[in-house]
Amino acid sequence: MFTGIVEGVGKLVDIKNNQANLDLWIESDFTNELKIDQSVAHNGVCLTVVEIKNNIYRVTAIEETLLKTNFNTLKKGDLINLERCLMFNGRIDGHIVQGHVDQIGHISSIEDQDGSYLVTVDYDENSSGNVTVEKGSICLNGISLTVVNSKVGQFSVAIIPYTWEFTNLNQYKVGDQLNLEFDILGKYIKRLTQK
């Protein structure tokens, strides 16, 4: 479980196909604090650390993950938002994030608002009944954000300068794919009201 508060940005130093899976080698500032079998969110995707060597660690994305995320677009040198799993001895600054991506969204616009950014994302509203609400939570590439505009199949989020600078959102442009995890509480409520 995660909070969607990005802890750091790692660099993808190598990427290799492994049968139907994808092995990713990531360099990060906190690799020396990781352990084998630990969960780390990568652009919002919960993956297990399987190897550690110096300041680089390896994770494997299986075919199911590749089908639901933007990991097929990753390339060597890309920056990846990282968050280690939640510890229950402090505040939860974001919202409850599972690290289980629901679907991919596409950036339809990025507006520079003189110090902040308004990012609008389109998504398939028929996919698993995902929904957003204004002032509700959404997770983009592992970043906990607040929805400022919610429509059917589209939402917008306002990005503060700190988040823009210290995550990989500043690397994306219109048309790019983002990993989306919709709010777990909203998903449960929608399921209950449909019955």
State how far the alpha carbon of 67 is from the alpha carbons of 100, 110, 118, in Å: 12, 26, 28
State how far the alpha carbon of 60 is from the alpha carbons of 45, 50, 112, in Å: 11, 8, 36
CA–CA distance, 64 with 81 (Å, rounded to integer) = 20
Percent of all residues in the chain with a pLDDT value above 90, rounded to a whole number: 78
Q: What is the chain's mean pLDDT, rounded?
A: 92
User: What domains lie within the chain, and their CATH numbers?
Assistant: 8-84 (2.40.30.20), 103-194 (2.40.30.20)
Q: Is 23 helix (H, G, I), strand (E, B) or coil?
A: strand
- Which pLDDT tens digit goes with each residue over 74-110? 999 999 999 998 887 777 777 888 899 999 999 999 9
CA–CA distance, 99 with 3 (Å, rounded to integer) = 9
pTM, rounded to two decimals: 0.86
Predicted confidence at residue 189, as pLDDT, reads 82
CA–CA distance, 140 with 104 (Å, rounded to integer) = 9
